[in-house]
Amino acid sequence: MITDAGALLITVVRLQNIDMDADIVIIGAGATGLFTALDLSLRGLSVVLIDRQGMLRGTSGRFHGLLHSGARYATTDKAAAVECRQESSTIRRIAGGAVFDVGGLFVSLEGDDDAFADRFLKGMDDSEIECKAVDLAELKRAEPALSPKVRFAASVPDMVVDPFRLFGGVAVLAKAKGARFLLNHNVTGIDRRKMTVKTDRGEVSARLLVNAAGPWADKICAMYGNMVDMMPAIGLMLAYDGRLVDRVINRLRPPSDGDILLPFYGSCILGTTAQVVEDVDDVHIEDDDVRYLVEEGSVMVPALRDRKYSRLYWSARPLLKADDARSASRDFQVLDDEDILTVIGGKLTTSRLMAEKVSDSACQKLGIKAECTTKETKIPVLEPAASMRGTIGEEVYGFGASFTEVEREASS
């Protein structure tokens, strides 16, 4: 486990005019971009990772903390459910110090649809996700904050992950293997003829480009005249001081607002909404959205109704195009456009797998015969600072964790 913040120093080129080259340039220092930098570096390629801000400043550092068992998608998205089941086990194996095996519950309340519960149980069985009915008397003793109107509960192997502990280790390992980081470099253009990525502080040439910009991926594609069919959706989350529950609590109904409450260190996080937006850089959260989230969450845990949240935050999901945000698949795609690969969709839980697939495609294009090893590579886990309050992102990195100190030092 890493405890010395200095050991995590990520090299950041701060020259006014940079002139670099690499086998592969990756745009986006979120979960997928960082795992891709590690994957390709382990295969022996030279990598430059660019981000207009810092690491995990977008979706990956602002999610609700759930390391998915796949249960939430068992009824509607079997491919995503199976991927989450497999990848959550992998993340726990390679980076156990960043994962909290708290377990999860799906609870049905009076008035909820019995037919959906039946479909859920069948989907769990089809996806081979462990699921067991829980005795209600035992549940009341273990989770007293749950509504007395719970009439059925099933346990699932949900876990919670600290993305800063996990990806601090991914970054330092990628750096040790030769990856270079250009943080706080805003991409301003892409010259496909020269295969050059232009930033506000210089240029980087490469043989291949990986677009891992998440909900901003379409803006990167537009820089070289391409279009990608995305549907960015905003998810609102509320953080509360104190743990009201000790397991991940999910409402047993079709995915909706306010249907998940997670314990995260000494806090709990209520999520989430799903609002499609035109521009993820121009988001406005309405008071009605906050009130509705609290109202729905308090049906499962009544104490939320009278408890003041400590902060709110939102993240943007890079969803694949669908009729609406709730029906959109949580699976992912790697779009192949000759010398540019774009990865969209997916989840933080499946970020290692997404990186593996895009790295496989990159190696095939470059004629590199090297296998992915991230599934077996142990990740050094960042030790959080004692001052960490325990809320994801903390607008942003304001909780004083070691990850913050590392990035601040790297960017100075």
Report yes or no: 171 and 8 within 8 Å, Cβ to Cβ. Answer: yes
How many Å is the Cα radius of gyration of the chain? 21
**E-assigned strands of 252-297?**
260-264, 267-271, 275-276
pLDDT digits (tens, 9 = 90+) for 29-58: 999 999 999 999 999 999 999 999 888 888
pLDDT digits (tens, 9 = 90+) for 333-364: 899 998 999 998 889 999 999 999 999 999 99
What number is the average pLDDT over the span 100-125? Answer: 95
Give the pLDDT confidence score for residue 336 in this predicted structure.
92
Matching CATH topology for 5-60+163-229+329-411 and 102-158+230-320?
no
pLDDT digits (tens, 9 = 90+) for 218-242: 999 999 888 887 778 888 999 998 9
Q: What fold characterizes domain 5-60+163-229+329-411? A: FAD/NAD(P)-binding domain (3.50.50)
Distance CA 312, CA 393 (A): 10
Q: Domain extents for the chain?
A: 5-60+163-229+329-411, 102-158+230-320
Helices (DSSP H) in 57-183: which residue ranges? 78-94, 114-126, 136-142, 163-176
pLDDT digits (tens, 9 = 90+) for 377-391: 999 887 765 444 555
What CATH architecture applies to the domain 102-158+230-320? 2-Layer Sandwich (3.30)
Return the higher-pLDDT residue of 338 and 211.
211
Percent of the chain past pLDDT 90, that is, above it, reads: 62
What number is the average pLDDT over the span 371-400? Answer: 71
